[in-house]
Amino acid sequence: MSTKTKKPAKPRTPRTPHTPKMSKSAARADGAAKTDRLRKAALAQIHDRLADGQQDHEVPSDKEVANNASVEAVAKGKKPKADKPAKTKAPKMAREPKPKRISALDAAAQVLGGSKVPMRATEMVAAMEAKGLWTSPGGKTPEATLYAAIIREIAAKGTASRFKKHERGVFVAGKGA
- Specify the amino acid at residue 74: V
Sequence spans of domains, the chain: 26-53, 104-173
Cα separation, 143 vs 120, whole angstroms: 9
Q: What are phi and psi of 50, to 5 degrees?
A: -70, -30
Question: Residues 6 or more apart from 150 whose CB is under 8 A from it?
Answer: 105, 108, 121, 163, 171
What's the N-to-C CA distance of the chain in angstroms? Answer: 103
The predicted model scores a pTM of 0.46
Q: What is the pLDDT of residues 29-75, one digit of tens each?
A: 788 888 889 999 988 888 887 777 655 456 667 777 777 777 777 67
**pLDDT over 80 at 125, yes or no:** yes
